[in-house]
Amino acid sequence: MKAEQARMRFCATAFLALVLGAAFYFLLYLPQSAELRAKEAEASTLRGEIARAAAFRRMHPDPAKEAKALGVRKTLADRLLPARLDLNAFLSEAQRQATDAGVVLSAVEPGEAEAADGLVRASVRLSVRGDYFAWLDFLYAMEQQGRFVKIDAVRGKADEGGAFSGTIALWVYARGQ
């Protein structure tokens, strides 16, 4: 009798487990997996919309921000390429930079202005004397002065005292007039 009660209890427990498993599967698992697939599809659609919105923003930037950036670029371009060549102002600045760097400008030979490719340019030849590091400081200052200057050639030689004497050939540019 005990064995039969145990078997009946086992069968009832197994049946109850089967009913609960089936109820869980049909009442909870299937609806939740369908809802999960729907949410995944919605998330995929939203990711696509976000990507399209980002592409639109890249293609159509903020006009106010673009105008501000254009103004900054125009200011930089006006500083790098002024409207007039104004070699006097350039040579005054070069003299100041030479003094700051510790070199001596012994001669300045400005060339004639010429128009080329929508720009006006003039050659300038500077005769310079100073030690090696002063030359480097002067050349660096010439490149960093905020105006487009192309250093074409640097020639020189050292004397017995360690000072360098030579010439710097460069071009100074401005916008075409």
H or E element at residue 111: strand 104-116
The set of residues, in sequence order, having a beta carbon less than 8 Å from that of 177 and lying 6+ positions away, is: 83, 84, 115, 120
Q: What is the mean pLDDT of the chain?
A: 88
Q: What mean pLDDT do residues 122-150 have?
A: 89
At 116, is the pLDDT very low, low, confident or very high (cuts 50, 70, 90)?
confident
Half-sphere exposure of 167 (CA within 13 A, CB side): 11
What is residue 123's predicted lDDT score, i.e. its pLDDT?
92
What is residue 177's predicted lDDT score, i.e. its pLDDT?
57
pTM for the full predicted model: 0.58
Give percent of the chain with pLDDT exceeding 70. 99
pLDDT tens profile 59-112: 877 888 888 888 888 888 888 888 888 888 888 999 999 999 999 999 999 988
